[in-house]
A and B are shown apart, each in its own frame.
Chain A
Amino acid sequence: MSLLEINGLTRRFGGLIAVNDFNIELGEHEVVALIGPNGAGKTTVFNLISGFYQPSEGSIRFKGKDTRGLRPHQVTALGVARTFQGIRLWSEMDVLDNIRIAQHYRLGYSLLDCFLRTKNYMTREKEIDRIAWELLEAMDLKEFAHELPRNLPYGVQRRVEIARAMSVQPALLLLDEPAAGLNSADVEELIKLVRWIHERFNVTIWMIEHQMTVVMSLCSRIKVVDFGTTIADGTPEEIQSNPTVIKAYLGDDTI
């Protein structure tokens, strides 16, 4: 069974069709890219999957379950985590808290437990803490645990955002332009990090990315959208030499 199955997904904003008849099937352990020019509708696809928008038409099934009508936190609880195109960390809370809060859906204690500090509360909080520290350790962020995100370099903030998404312990990780705004050394780091996360956590990764070096070195499959419509789908080699893709990226005149 495929992990994510999208059929005929369409989303309109008034007269604008941001996503048009989008289809994809993602298996376990894949790394796939979604590329396309600005405004092609890539982020909208992610927003539809995470439940932030509801589809106008079509279906999204995750682990065989229809996610239509679910609120974003419910979709996340099923095992879909994501990062954002612009960094959206909680900037007034330290890195450790940022990582901990992403475990909200499996806190495993009630408000009353919290007031009374019951044994259940204590064990659960300890467990949440342990997972957070392990993640910080694994992602080389331990030294920043008590820093506020806004005081960290941009590259580190990106890493924290990915760590926060991994704190959900997702089966599917959606990365929206993870390399945007990074210098070339940071991009190298990022490629290594994503590869390592993929191996270590056995997670399916789907990324939107403009930087071809990242896409080419990580993804086994690429999907290209333009004006909401899929224009190509294939291996990196196929995409690189696909005339429609080249046309979409460079515009009609240049060819």
Chain B
Amino acid sequence: MQKKVFTIGLFACIVALVALAQFHLLDDYYLSVIMFMGVNVILAASLNLVNGYMGEFSCGHGGFMCVGAYVSSLCTVLMFSKNQMLGAPLLPPQLAFIGLPIALFIGSMAAAVAGLVVAIPSFKTRGDYLAIITLAANYIVISAINNMEFVGGPRGFMGMSATVRDMENMIDLPWMLIFVLLGMVFTIWILRRFVSSTLGKGVPAICQDEIAAEIMSVDTNHMKLIAFMLSSGLAGLAGGLYAHVLGYVNPQSFDIMRSTEVMVMVYLGGMGSLSGAAIAAVSYTVLMEALRFLDVWKWVVIPLLLILLMQFRPEGLMGNRELSDFFPKLRKYYSFK
């Protein structure tokens, strides 16, 4: 029973946030910061599976986010909005409630499949070389989209807000906030279940000694496939949510800069710590907003922070520990591992 306290508390927080938004007690600025926080939590937690738990160095997370963003946007635009290139909406607006989750799902699946571009080379390649492959994957995605006229190429793609508007017209609730928060909970939930199972522990086994893992009967290729596809699939979910929050996407917003940002969150939080990734993503988003007055200088301060972090606390804020390792009392309310 006590173990449920955490879960109940979490959902209470979600309901409270939604209520605050609903009664306009949160202005639009705070609302959007909270939604970006949620997206960042998904990104950081999913990248942590590869960079933290598996000990690889993926620096192309933005690419998978991009795939998810574009594919799910394409789906909702096809279904619910009028587009010069793609024609009239295929479905009546009442179906937006089912349409959006389906579009997000398809976007995630597409991103997971895109993850194969990195997963398959990872069977033979490790370390620096694989890092270069992930970088290349990021570039491939961006360049491909830049060259696709039917999604606007470098000018970007829009029309996703029609779906959100459809939902709000039916039932007046802050739908995107709800979807982002649920997506975040779903991500943490699925990752935690995976890494705490004996199956999922094959991933850190690969990180700590790949040869021993393979010889002790861990199918390392299979595990890599799962880790990369799960990670990129969840990045795709983040991308889909991001696209529908903004209502507009362009390829540049998923370039290497974005991937770096996610990496900073992972290293800030600690490799192989889910609660670390979540805390880091939230603090990072807040920090970015707080430093907004610095304008472009922000990009001097944040890398500097990274340098200091690597100098003095290379394992990140939490290392590979979870919240419950610092506050054992929490274990009563929730099993973090």
**Which A residues are within 8 Å of any B CB, using their own CB?**
50, 52, 71-73, 76-77, 81-82, 84, 88-93, 97, 100-105, 107, 109, 111, 114-115, 117, 121, 125, 128, 164-165, 168
Judge whether A128 and B198 touch: CB under 8 Å. Answer: yes
Decide: A111 and B217 in contact? CB cutoff 8 A. Answer: no
Contact assessment for B217 and A117 in the assembled complex, using a CB-CB cutoff below 8 Å: no
B residues in contact with A91, CB < 8 Å: 208-209
Are B209 and A101 in touch, CB under 8 angstroms? no
Q: How far is the CB of A118 from chain B (nearest CB, A)?
A: 11
Which of chain B's residues 162-210 have a Cβ closer than 8 Å to chain A? 190, 193-194, 197-202, 204-205, 208-209
A-B contact pairs, 28 of them (CB 8 A): A52-B211, A52-B215, A71-B214, A73-B214, A73-B218, A73-B219, A84-B212, A88-B211, A90-B213, A92-B320, A93-B205, A93-B208, A101-B198, A101-B218, A104-B216, A104-B219, A105-B217, A105-B219, A111-B194, A111-B226, A114-B193, A114-B199, A115-B190, A115-B194, A117-B193, A121-B197, A165-B216, A168-B217
B220 contacts A by Cβ under 8 Å: yes
Q: Is the CB of A93 within 8 A of B214?
A: no
Q: In the assembled complex, how far is the CB of residue B195 from the closest CB belonging to chain A, in whole angstroms?
A: 10
The answer on a CB contact under 8 Å between B215 and A107 is: no
**Contacts A88-B211, A90-B205, A92-B204 known; A164 to B216 CB distance under 8 Å?**
yes
Report chain B residues within 8 Å CB of A71.
214, 219, 221
Shortest B231–chain A CB gap in Å is 14
**A114 contacts across to B, CB distance below 8 A:** 193-194, 197, 199-200
Q: A88-B212, A90-B208 are in contact. Are A125 and B220 (CB under 8 A)?
A: no
Task: Report whether A101 and B226 are in contact in the complex, using a CB–CB cutoff of 8 Å.
Answer: no
CA distance A105 to B198 in the complex (A): 11
Residues of A contacting B205 in the complex (Cβ-Cβ under 8 angstroms): 90, 93, 101
Closest chain-A Cβ to B116's Cβ sits at a distance in Å of 16
The CA of A82 and the CA of B211, in the complex, are separated in Å by 12
A112–chain B nearest beta-carbon distance, Å: 11
Contacts of B202 in A (CB 8 A): 101, 104
Q: Which residues does chain B contribute within 8 Å of A102, judged by CB atoms?
A: 216-217
- B209 closest partner in A (C-beta): A88
What residue in chain A is nearest B197 (Cβ atoms)?
A114
Q: Are B216 and A76 in contact (CB under 8 A)?
A: yes
The 8 A CB mask of B215-253 against A (1 = contact, 0 = none) is 111111100001000000000000000000000000000
B217 touches A50 (CB 8 A): no
CB-defined contacts of A76 to chain B, threshold 8 Å = 215-217
